[in-house]
Structures are given as C-alpha cells and as structure tokens.
Amino acid sequence: MHRSNVYCRNGAVAASQPLAVAAGLETLRRGGSAIDAAITVSAVLSVIEPGASHLGGDAFVITHDAGNKRQTAFNGSGEAPRGATADQFKGKIDHHGYRSATVPGLVSTWFEIHSEGGNLPMQEILQPAIEYANSGFPVTSGFVRRIAHHLKQFPETNLFASLNFPTNLGAGDLLVQPELGRSLEAIAADGRDAFYEGEIARSLIESSNGWFNENDLVQHRTRVISPLRISYRGLDIHGQPPPSQGMILMEELLLAEGFSVSELNEAERIHMMVEAKKIAFQDRYEMLGDPEFIDINLEKLFTASSIDSRRAKIDLARANTNPVSYNQEGSDTTYFLTADRDGNAVSWIQSVFHGFGASWVIPGTGIIMNNRLTGFSLDSNSPNYIAPGKRPAHTLNAWIATRSDGSLAHVGGTPGANIQVQTNFQLITNAIDLAMSPQENAEAPRWQHLNGPSYSDGEENFNGVLQIENRVSKNVLDELKRLGHEVQELAPYGHGSSVQLLEATESGSFILGSDPRSEGQAAGF
C-alpha cells in the first residue's frame, strides 16, 4: 500500500484536501460534533477547491446518530427557477451562465444539519473558511491544473476575472478571496437568511435579470428524509433517496447478493458487477426524477421477485451487448467524512456539477453558481423533464453501513459523476465480501464502465467501454475481453475517483483510508 491505515478513537476526518482535514479535526478538538466538523470541512473545501464545490452548489448527506442508532438523509439539491421551462431553451440547456443553475442548496444544508446535531455556534464552525478566504491559502498543483483545464476548454470565460484570481498562479502561491470572505462572514453572523434573503440573494436576483426571483430563494429548503435502506450480507446499507441516483447502488448490491462474490475470481467478479451495473443504470434512466413531481416505486423495484427477475438476465458466461441508455453527467464534486468520540458519523458529498459549475459568479460575493440545471432532460417523456420548482436527477450519493444492532460499521464515498455508484459498489463489496481494510480498499485496482457510443475497428458500439486500471493481470483483461467486454486499460492509478473510507470497529475505534489518486488524506486523534 502507498499509505498505512489511520487508527484513532476520538475524532476522524477524511477529505480530498489536507487543509480541510486539519480544519475539521480542529473543530472536533474544540468539542465540536461530527456534524460541526463536517460543516467546517464543507465550507473550507468551498474556499480551497472552488472547481469542485462552492456556496452556489448542492450537497447530499447521510448522518449516523450513535445514541439513537438512527440514520438521516439530507437532500440539499436546489430547484429549477420558476421561469425555467423547456421552451426557454433551443434544444439544449445552457451549459454556462445563470441560466444553467438551480437554486443553491449547500448553505441551507449547513443550517439544517446543524439544527440536528451541532454543538458549536456557526460563527466558530465557519471561522476556518473565513480565515482562508480573507488571509489566503497556498494553492496546490491540482488547483492550478484545474484552472488551466477550464481555460483550455472555455477560453472565453470571464470567471477568473470575476473572482479576481491572478492569471499566473503557481503551486504554493497565496490566493486571497475577500469577497467570498465577506459572504461567509455575513452567513456566520446572520445565518441562512443572509444567503437566501439578504444581500447575496438580492445580487443573484438582480444580476440574473430576474431569472431567479425572491420566491425561488425564500421557498427553497433542504429536505430531511429517511435514507434508502437495504440489507447486504447482514449489514444495513443506507443510501441516498431520489432525486439522487443512490437507487443504482442499492440495486447493484441487491443483484450482487445472489452471487458468492468472495468465491468468484477477479474476472468473474468484475464481469458480474458490470452486468449488474448495466441493469441498474437502465432502471435509473427509466424511473428517476424528482419524487415530488413523479411516482417512483423503489419498494417494488427492490422486492425479491423484481431483483430475482433482473438477476436472471446476468449471464456469467457472456456480456450483455444490447444498447444501454445513457446521459453525460458533470464530474466535479468532492466527498468527505467525519466521525466523533461519541461514534456519530457524517457521509457528505457536495458539488457544482461540471468543473467550476456555471462558470459564473454572483457579483460582489465571490460565490460560484452550479450548472445543475443541465442535469434535466428536455424530452417531455422523461421522468427527469425540466419543470419550474423541480429538482433534477442527481449523481450525488453517499452511504453508511450499520450492523444488525444499529452500530456503525462503514462510511464511504467518492466523487465521479456516473462513476460514483460504480465505485461505491466496489468499495462496499471489497469491504464486506473481500474483507479489505479501508486503505487497502482505497488503493485497490478499480474499474469503470462508461455508457454510450464508442468506436472500435470503425464499428460503433453502444454497449459502452470497460476501463480498468492496468494493475490487474493480463489474464484478467484477456478473460474480460473473451466474455465480450470492450476493455480499455487505464494508468495504474488512472481511475477518476477520490475515495475516503472509515471502518468502525465493534470496540469503538475508527480505521481510515484515503485515496492516493487525489491530494487528500485521512487523519484522526
């Protein structure tokens, strides 16, 4: 392994950026709960990883309350503005600009989740993010590369000029964001209303020429609901309900439970899981939308008879080469986890959707807006058809696993758009079926199946491409090809995930792992 597992008992944080990890640990040391630490990490990441998440973005969270042995899901996704209808767009939703955004849900989620289990005042929780915005932080090489990549893709953007980012930033240079600092100070002092009713809201309404209106912002709320829950090998897996596509992860696991995963060889295991993924994604495309607008009967989908009928379609001797429905999703996201001395835990994922979201800043605030509106469909037959006040289908999902007695067992997640539910599928089976430790799991070779058309020998293939890190043996790759998969090798650690993992022992200790594919780390005390 590149790194060893981290063992601790009193507090734990794992995230994609070390400064955010340190800030979360400091909140825990000051007597903060796992929820307090998670809000600290969330806010710091918005300052120091603006390409992946920001105050203008969304969040999906699952919490574990150790005292009550209860799990809660927080759906911090935003609604389409009241003026966002299909006829506003000419065949395609705007990729950038305020017309590509939904109402931001992240700040609302901070306050909603804080009311459920916060110990410290929000002024104290947000102070590290305020300091990094006002006093600056040294940018990483990844930060610099992300800006360069965005400029290469969209050379006409004025995003970085709007943010007053220097054009010649290099790794280690200090970046100060005073406008963002003032926004965070206002939120810390005046609470949720500072974002949804105060100067920030007024600036968004005015600068969007009324695309967003007062009601869009005032009426937004973070939904607090029960997670999806299934049983897998005697553990309860708690996942994100719709409009998150967490349903895919649940269905994948239910399909896999009918196979002796630990007894399959590596090629057989990957093949079976890819075939399960295809089935679950097809169901997602046919069913998923905002449950406040459409009926989504997941109870029926998850029944034994339904799963058995779908599992029967998996042929262990041959890949399914029928066309699979697909859509392109943004992949710029960040995932992290926290846990405290009382055994409470938080599994949190937040995003602006595509890189730097809408590539548009609320003037005078330093806040980057999401471009999540592009996650809707303009096809009136789709369950994900755009409508005012409706939330788009989301890739964001995070999970927690508990034992039969309700105690915490595992926490995990990753960024990666449509790859998220595939990676999480691998993480859970690696942990439960193959008994991998968190760090071993974070570093294990990984695969991803990409839906959509590809081309080989001049032939168009709609079955997709199976990409696998080339640390697996040639025999495994050859066997997967023989089974009918179009295989593409990735670099040894070329998979696009950034996994953070926690295992809770029955004695009350934490074991942590963090993905070497990213700049992050796991730490505790």
Alpha carbons 352 and 101: distance in angstroms, whole number: 9
Given a cut of 90, is residue 291 above it in pLDDT? yes
Lowest mean pLDDT among 163-167, 198-202, 281-285, 414-418: 414-418
Cβ–Cβ under 8 Å, residues 358 and 96? yes
* Average pLDDT of the segment spanning 417-426: 91
Chain centroid to CA 80: 20
* Average pLDDT of the segment spanning 246-254: 97
Token match 């193959």: residue?
434
Given a cut of 70, is residue 457 above it in pLDDT? no
pLDDT for residue 1: 76
Alpha carbons 211 and 209: distance in angstroms, whole number: 6
Given a cut of 60, is residue 454 above it in pLDDT? no
Q: Give yes or no for a cis peptide into 243 (omega within 30° of 0).
A: yes
pLDDT for residue 463: 65
Given a cut of 80, is residue 331 above it in pLDDT? no
Residue-wise pLDDT tens digits, 72-116: 999 999 999 999 999 999 899 999 999 999 999 999 999 999 999
**pTM of the entire structure?**
0.95
Does domain 228-321+420-490 match CATH 1.10.246.130?
yes
Would you list the DSSP string of 298-347? HHHHTSHHHHHHHHTT--TTS---S---------EEEEEEEEETTS-EEE
pLDDT band at 55 (very low <50, low <70, confident <90, very high): very high
| Strand pairing category for 487-490 and 465-469 | parallel
Which burial class, exposed, middle or buried, applies to 88 when counting CB atoms under 10 A from its CB (0-12, 13-18, 19+)? middle
Given a cut of 60, is residue 464 above it in pLDDT? yes
User: Which of the following is catalytic: 63, 333, 365, 395?
Assistant: 333
User: For the chain, what are the domain ranges?
Assistant: 11-223+335-398+511-524, 228-321+420-490
Mean pLDDT, all residues of the chain: 94
pLDDT for residue 461: 46
Residue-wise pLDDT tens digits, 157-182: 999 999 999 979 999 999 999 999 99
Given a cut of 80, is residue 392 above it in pLDDT? yes
- Dihedral sign for Cα 258, 264, 269, 271, please: negative
pLDDT for residue 456: 41
% of the chain residues with pLDDT over 90 = 91
* Average pLDDT of the segment spanning 400-407: 98
Given a cut of 90, is residue 415 above it in pLDDT? no
Given a cut of 60, is residue 459 above it in pLDDT? no
Beta carbons within 8 Å of 287's beta carbon, 6+ residues apart: 247, 296, 301, 383
Given a cut of 70, is residue 452 above it in pLDDT? no
Token match 């760090």: residue?
439
* Average pLDDT of the segment spanning 145-164: 95
Catalytic annotation present for 505: no
* Average pLDDT of the segment spanning 216-220: 97
pLDDT for residue 492: 95
Residue-wise pLDDT tens digits, 499-510: 999 999 999 999
pLDDT for residue 395: 84
Given a cut of 50, is residue 241 above it in pLDDT? yes
Cβ–Cβ under 8 Å, residues 83 and 388? yes
Three-class DSSP category at 35:
helix
Instruction: Put residue 366 in one of left, alpha, beta given phi > 0 → left and psi -120 to 50 → alpha.
Output: left
pLDDT band at 417 (very low <50, low <70, confident <90, very high): confident
pLDDT band at 396 (very low <50, low <70, confident <90, very high): confident
pLDDT band at 460 (very low <50, low <70, confident <90, very high): very low
Token match 């309404």: residue?
205
Beta carbons within 8 Å of 514's beta carbon, 6+ residues apart: 3, 6, 14, 439, 442, 499, 500, 501, 520, 521, 522
